[in-house]
Amino acid sequence: MRTVFGKLLIHDVLLIVVTMSILASAVGYLAVDYSFSDRRRELVSQAEALSALISNGYLVRSDPETAHFLLETVDRMADARVWVVNDQGLVLLTSLSHTRWEGFRLSADELQKVRAGLVVSRVDLIPQLGEPTFSVAAPVMAGGRVAGAVLLHAPISGVMATVQRIRTLVLYASLLALSLALLLAFFVSRRITRPVREMTAFAQAMRQGRFDHRIEVEEEDEIGQLAKTFNHLSRELGLTIDALTREKRQRESIVQSMSEGVLAVDVRGHILLVNPQARQLLELAGGEAEGRPAEEVLPAEWFQPFQRCLQEGMPVEGIRPTGGRTLRLRVAPIDGGGRVEGAVGLVEDITEQRRVEQMRRDFVANVSHELRTPLTSLRGFLQAIREGVVTDPREIGRYLGVMHGETMRLIRLVNSLLDLSRIEGGQVQLHRQALALAPVVEDVLVSMHPRMEENALRVETDIPQDLPAVWADRDRLDQILINLLENAVRYAGREGQVRVAARSLGDAVVVAVEDTGPGIPAEELPYVWDRFYKVDKARTADGSGTGLGLVIVRQLVELHGGRAWAESQPGQGSRFFFSLPQAQGQEETGPVSA
């Protein structure tokens, strides 16, 4: 048996069998020894008693028949054949009726011991009896010397029968004791090995990831202490594995939810991890990628940085355009105690970042251009006046007028930049209120009347009397209308037409500012909301625009919760729309920051 229970049971069985065998042998030996010793004592006592009778002359004075009767009586009582021999060892009388014993002699050694007055005993096969016998010889004294001896020959079959019964009894007792001992050994071994079996089942449960199993501790012995240690180990190991599992899940969740792509390989170049973002950015084919060689999964241009990093043990970075996007790959080695055990790569889509950087560069270039033009004009006129090139007062006045216009242009540009910066920085606060749109439009048109009259523009409004009020900041609404109307005046040209219309649409009010200018080409229409973007200046009545008005319009409209858009066709003018929420159902609150 390979189990501890089987080994322990076999050990106990062998120990019990050996012990019981030795014990049974010892008991059998003692029983035989005791039986023979007891029979010898009995025969010696009877032989000495008969020797005393003969020594007293009783047997000698009796007639032969009486003497023979006496020997037969002793024979029956002692279950032994009786011999009487002389000092030479010759048989004189026997308890048997026949005379075939006459002439039998003791051995020289035994005869010598009898003559010395000793009692002699032996177990021997006497041919005259035909079976093993226990023989005892006691000396017969006459006149102070040994005159003969009395011999008692008892068959040992009776003693052996007793010995056999004792042996049988010992055997049965041994078998019974052995059975009881085996049964006790079975239950004791089973009880001792039960905690071992439980610990085996406990270890198998832990191997399967179940750490809630516990061993019942019944005794405070070594096995009980071991069971307690196992229970403590299971509890601590379960807590540790749970913590590691949570940490692993958190890391996996973090990696899976990252906006950047993450891809890791081992030192052989086999993929260890790839998150969904990396699959999408690198346009990896479907199927399981983990465990496969990166060279088979990644395009060559993406695998080479990982290969270089594994070979050189140094970070590698590269930027590659792919599929209309710009991706940046950063690969760093995984340090395994002084040696490279792999590499991990971070893939980022920097398309928007590059676009923002380009917009920033364009912004700086546009601001520089917009500032340089009026400043150059101012410097030229000032230099002409300062150096006396122009001396006519009327010409100087004209120069000063141009300089004033350029100065105002610079002020508008700076103010637009400040407004745009505050809006995008969240520094603009809205004080919303219910506003009737028609009076607001009339006020703005009145403020712009000189400019429109200067260009001989016709102005029309189409605002229904029952138009719902809008929920807006009055100052910012004025700024939206002014920017759109200035844009319309700029492009409508002399003697053109500007129209302001409004309609209710759902829970919003849509306002349209239209002009009869040259229109905007379809390919340029999406860019009119970009900073410093201007349609071809040849199409405008003047070049005084900053290129920021429409940007501010869109930012302010979106800040109010609306949206701005434009429609145009070349040669048919342009229409700029914006929507604002209706005031109905709105509650007046404090200032709201952008």
- pLDDT confidence of 461, banded at 50, 70, 90? very high
Mean pLDDT confidence for 350-373: 76
Say if residue 8's pLDDT is above 80: no
Q: In angstroms, rounded to a whole number, what is the distance separating the alpha carbons of residues 432 and 312?
A: 63
Q: What is the reported pLDDT for 398?
A: 86
Q: In angstroms, rounded to a whole number, what is the distance separating the alpha carbons of residues 175 and 21?
A: 10
Mean pLDDT of the chain: 79
Q: What is the reported pLDDT for 4?
A: 63
Of 225, 204, 199, the residue nearest 214 (C-alpha): 199
Q: In angstroms, rounded to a whole number, what is the distance separating the alpha carbons of residues 291 and 272?
A: 6
- pLDDT confidence of 63, banded at 50, 70, 90? low
- For 47-117, where are the E strands, in sequence order? 81-86, 91-94
Of 293, 302, 308, 298, the residue nearest 343 (C-alpha): 308
Q: State how beta strands 564-568 and 261-266 pair.
A: unpaired
Higher-scoring residue by pLDDT: 474, 61: 474
Q: What is the reported pLDDT for 515?
A: 92
Q: What is the reported pLDDT for 458?
A: 92
Q: What is the reported pLDDT for 510?
A: 96
Mean pLDDT confidence for 79-92: 75
Question: pLDDT (tens digit, 9 = 90+) per residue, 561-588?
Answer: 999 999 998 888 999 999 999 988 676 5
Across-strand partners of 590? none
Residue 273 backbone phi and psi in degrees, to 5: -155, 140
CA 470 to mean position of chain CA atoms: 59
The SS3 call for residue 567 is strand
Question: pLDDT (tens digit, 9 = 90+) per residue, 217-269?
Answer: 666 677 777 777 777 777 787 788 888 888 888 877 887 778 788 889 998 88
Say if residue 477's pLDDT is above 90: yes
Burial class (CB in 10 A: 0-12, 13-18, 19+), 234: buried
Contact 440, 478 (CB under 8 A): yes
Burial class (CB in 10 A: 0-12, 13-18, 19+), 302: buried
- pLDDT confidence of 12, banded at 50, 70, 90? confident
- The Cα-based distances of 270 to 206, 253, 310, 338, 344 in angstroms read 31, 22, 12, 21, 12
Q: Tell whether domain 354-421 is in CATH 1.10.287.130.
A: yes
Say if residue 474's pLDDT is above 50: yes
Q: List, as one string, the DSSP characters of 237-305.
A: HHHHHHHHHHHHHHHHHHHHH-SSEEEEEETTSBEEEE-HHHHHHHTPPSS--TTSBHHHHS-HHHHHH
The SS3 call for residue 563 is coil
Q: Tell whether domain 428-593 is in CATH 3.40.50.970.
A: no
- pLDDT confidence of 412, banded at 50, 70, 90? confident
Q: Tell whether domain 258-349 is in CATH 3.30.450.20.
A: yes
CA-derived radius of gyration, the chain? 66
Q: In angstroms, rounded to a whole number, what is the distance separating the alpha carbons of residues 551 and 252?
A: 42
Q: What is the reported pLDDT for 563?
A: 93
Q: CA neighbours within 13 Å on the CB side: how many for 305?
A: 23
CATH of domain 4-163: 3.30.450.20
